[in-house]
């Protein structure tokens, strides 16, 4: 068994390469939840999701994040209502967050939810978050600084 610690787009790309040279069922991924946020009442786990989307072949390669071909109509409507939309969530991506939030409210663990999502997406791996206690800060100040104020994690607008 191989255990990998993962957080973000770079880790997702590394893991995609790794599963090309090892049996995916021998890999367990421990994903970062330090960047998890609650936004619009939804539990969002961006690092878990990018790994799942990448390993299932759903990721938008051009943008480097999110689901290929996703639309942003829900965010456009939120913006019309005057809401800040600095964190780009696609419509299909929102489906992930809605279901995750519902299952969390029903008492399911993030680990169990993530395992079910990875299975449904045919990601072919076992993915866990780093431990059972949530550590993300509401509003994700670091991520908000990178995306909202600087443009992205590289500082490019």
Q: What is the chain's percent helix, strand, coil content, to nearest 5? A: 45, 15, 40
Task: Report yes or no on 6 lying in a domain.
Answer: yes
Residue 156: inside a domain, yes or no? Answer: no
**Mean pLDDT in residue range 110-133:** 75
Q: Give me the number of domains the chain comprises.
A: 1
Residue 56's CB is within 10 A of a number of other CB atoms, namely 17
Could you give the 3-state DSSP secondary structure of residue 25?
A: helix
Residue 93 lies inside a defined structural domain of this protein: yes
Cα–Cα dist 110/58, whole Å: 21
Q: How confident is the model at residue 126 (pLDDT cuts 50, 70, 90)?
A: low
Q: Is residue 157 part of a domain?
A: no
- Is residue 60 assigned to a domain? yes
Domain containing residue 83: CATH number: 1.10.8.240
Please give the Cα distance from 35 to 45 (Å, whole number): 7
pLDDT at position 113 is 93
- pLDDT single digits (tens) 47-83: 999 999 999 999 999 998 999 999 999 999 999 999 9
Helices (H), 33-140: 46-55, 73-80, 91-105, 110-120
Structural domain containing residue 51: 2-150
User: CB under 8 Å to 115, separation ≥6 — which residues?
Assistant: 126, 127, 128
């Amino acid at each position: 068994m191989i255990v990998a610690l993962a957080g973000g787009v770079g880790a997702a790309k590394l893991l995609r390469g790794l599963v090309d040279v090892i049996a995916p069922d021998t890999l367990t991924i421990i994903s970062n939840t330090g960047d998890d946020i609650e936004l619009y009442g939804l539990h969002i786990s961006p690092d878990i999701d990018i790994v799942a989307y990448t390993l299932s072949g759903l990721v938008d390669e051009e943008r480097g994040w999110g689901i290929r071909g996703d639309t942003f109509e829900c965010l456009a409507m939120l913006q019309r209502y005057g809401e800040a939309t600095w964190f780009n969530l696609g419509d299909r991506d929102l489906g992930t967050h809605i279901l995750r939030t519902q299952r969390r409210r029903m008492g399911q663990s993030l680990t169990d939810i993530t395992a079910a999502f990875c299975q449904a997406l045919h990601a072919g791996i076992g993915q866990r978050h780093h431990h059972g206690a949530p550590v993300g800060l509401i509003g994700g100040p670091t991520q908000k600084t990178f995306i909202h104020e600087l443009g992205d994690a590289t500082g490019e607008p």
